[in-house]
Amino acid sequence: MNLEDCLREGLLVEIKPDSRKAEASIKMAEHKLETAEKEFKYKIFESAIISAYASMFHSARALLFKDGYKERSHYAVWVFVNEKYSDKIEKKYLNELNSLRLQRHELMYGLEKSDEAQESETGSAIQLAQGFLKTVQRIVK
């Protein structure tokens, strides 16, 4: 599925570009990152993974608002950022956004108890969320 498919299927909707919503999404990304860091400190690794993803999601969402789009799917957010910003955002961040999207989905909706997220994996996710946020902040401003 590509960006055009996401638009055709209503997973992304064109709206008027909105810098205020983009900034609000950046603020939410910062908040979710702070939450992930606190959860990590207290070794609540599964929640920290979910919060790190939420930070990356809101960072990515800021780019959608900046460009005049609204999402109806987490997958479509990744498709949008991957297609529109692959020349401005390092591949490691795009890969992590998708990887955490899948991991978050399994943690939240899976019926099987997963192995608890590991400390090193969670720390790495938080570091990548930090780098992604900084990159998006530069693009949005």
Q: What does the DSSP assignment read for 30-73? A: HHHHHHHHHHHHTT-HHHHHHHHHHHHHHHHHHHHHHHTEEES-
- pLDDT tens for each residue of 88-129: 999 999 999 999 999 998 888 887 665 556 888 999 999 999
CATH of 3-140, one of 1.20.120.330, 3.40.50.280, 3.40.462.40, 1.10.1200.10: 1.20.120.330
* Cα 87 from Cα 108, distance rounded (Å): 32
* Cα 70 from Cα 61, distance rounded (Å): 8
pLDDT score for 105: 86
pLDDT score for 119: 87
Residues of the chain with pLDDT under 50: none
pLDDT score for 21: 98
pLDDT score for 64: 98
Contact 100, 46 (CB under 8 A): no
pLDDT score for 42: 95
